[in-house]
Chains A and B, each alone.
Chain A
Amino acid sequence: MPEGEVVLITGTRKGIGRYLAEHFVKKGALVEGCSRAAPDWELERYTHHCLDVADEAQVRAMLSSIQQRHGRLDILINNAGIASMNHVLLTPAATVDQIMATNFRGTFLLCREAAKLMQRRRYGRIVNLSTVAVPLHLEGESIYAASKSAIVTFSQILARELADFGITCNVVAPTPIETDLIRNVPREKIEAIVNRLAIKRLGRFEDVANVIDFFVRPESDYITGQVIYLGGVC
């Protein structure tokens, strides 16, 4: 990637987000990240913002800060997400509101405000994270998968609306990876999901970064509105 690109990643305190922050710093990027709680780590060329991605004013303030300090934003990766595994009949309405707020409203707000900065230079790369739970229609994940399905549809339409501004928008949909998100999912359930993949293993952070690297290359300017499912799910 070109040296000095400015990359914004949401949900960087741990898991995939943290890995991606380190990955892009290693590649020479200036990385901005956010999460609700402060991380217990620091990184050179990395700036952290404590905020809720579903809070419009906080998201705007973060993007203003990026514009003032860097004068540009090249890449946005919407990784922040929460999950709740439960049978529909046992799912509280408040859980639905929380999941949709963080996963979908947060992605929408970040995309909108980031695209406002990106369109100034007629260049931008947006990557949103979905999940294989969408095409696999996994029981117990209806609300989480629905929120991530919304991200797919939103991204595909966003890709069309932003194309004239030189901004691409694509989706990477990981399989289960060893993160906190699946910590409370029973082992047999994870094994059952892995058995439905073409490539029968858990995902790795590197698998996600590999697809993102492809989407965000300057040469990928003819790739937009695409969804790549990991593990051979389709």
Chain B
Amino acid sequence: MDQPRNRVNPSRSDVVNMVLSSLEEVLTMADGHSPGAIGEETYLIGRDAVLDSMGLVTLIVDVEQRLEEDYGVVLVLADERAMSQQHSPFRSVRSLADYICRRIEEQG
């Protein structure tokens, strides 16, 4: 099997930037123009979310692919734990970034 191209784990700020870059791409694709200000506080699900459900699916898949392609980190983000957590790790950019960092740390 092919080896990951880069074995250095991303830092938290790398992960945040990756999620924001991916979010910007998904929002631009949906609206056809650049989104307004987005940051760690931006909600991904719930009443104030900037994404619809399909947008969230696209975002999660895109982040998984970027993690693998840029860092060789293979994660299925929507695993049993993520789906059963009372406070979804997908609720905001911050919680998603924290969740990804935690999962990477656990993988070692």
**Residues in A lying within 8 Å of B, measured CB to CB:** 56-57, 60-62, 64-65, 67-68, 116, 119-120, 164
Residues of chain A with a CB closer than 8 A to B1's CB: 61-62, 64-65
Minimum CB–CB distance from B69 to chain A (whole Å) comes to: 8
Complex Cα gap A144–B85 (Å)? 35
The reply to whether A64 and B2 form a contact with Cβ atoms under 8 Å apart is yes
The reply to whether A56 and B76 form a contact with Cβ atoms under 8 Å apart is yes
Minimum CB–CB distance from A54 to chain B (whole Å) comes to: 15
Count B-side interface residues using an 8 Å CB cutoff.
11
Complex Cα gap A119–B57 (Å)? 11
**Per a CB cutoff under 8 Å, which of A60, A119, A120, A164 touches B74?**
A60
Complex Cα gap A61–B64 (Å)? 13
The total of interchain contacts (Cβ-Cβ below 8 angstroms) comes to 24
**Residues in B lying within 8 Å of A, measured CB to CB:** 1-2, 54, 58, 61, 64-65, 68-69, 74, 76
Minimum CB–CB distance from B53 to chain A (whole Å) comes to: 10
A61: nearest chain-B partner, CB-CB: B1
B29: nearest chain-A partner, CB-CB: A122
**Per a CB cutoff under 8 Å, which of B54, B61, B68 touches A164?**
B54
- Lowest 9 CB-CB distances: which A-B pairs, in order? A61-B1, A116-B61, A65-B2, A68-B2, A164-B54, A64-B68, A60-B74, A65-B1, A119-B61
Residues of chain B with a CB closer than 8 A to A61's CB: 1-2, 74
Q: How would you classify the secondary structure of chain B's contact residues: helix, strand, loop or mixed?
A: helix
The reply to whether B2 and A116 form a contact with Cβ atoms under 8 Å apart is no
* Additional A-B contacts beyond A56-B76, A67-B65, A164-B54 (16; CB < 8 A): A57-B74, A60-B74, A60-B76, A61-B1, A61-B2, A64-B1, A64-B2, A64-B74, A65-B1, A67-B69, A68-B2, A116-B61, A116-B64, A116-B65, A119-B58, A119-B61
A122: nearest chain-B partner, CB-CB: B29
Residues of chain A with a CB closer than 8 A to B2's CB: 61, 64-65, 68
Complex Cα gap A57–B1 (Å)? 11
Complex Cα gap A164–B74 (Å)? 26
Interchain residue pairs with CB less than 8 A apart (12): A56-B76, A60-B74, A61-B1, A61-B74, A64-B1, A64-B2, A64-B74, A65-B1, A65-B2, A67-B65, A67-B69, A119-B61
Residues of chain B with a CB closer than 8 A to A119's CB: 58, 61
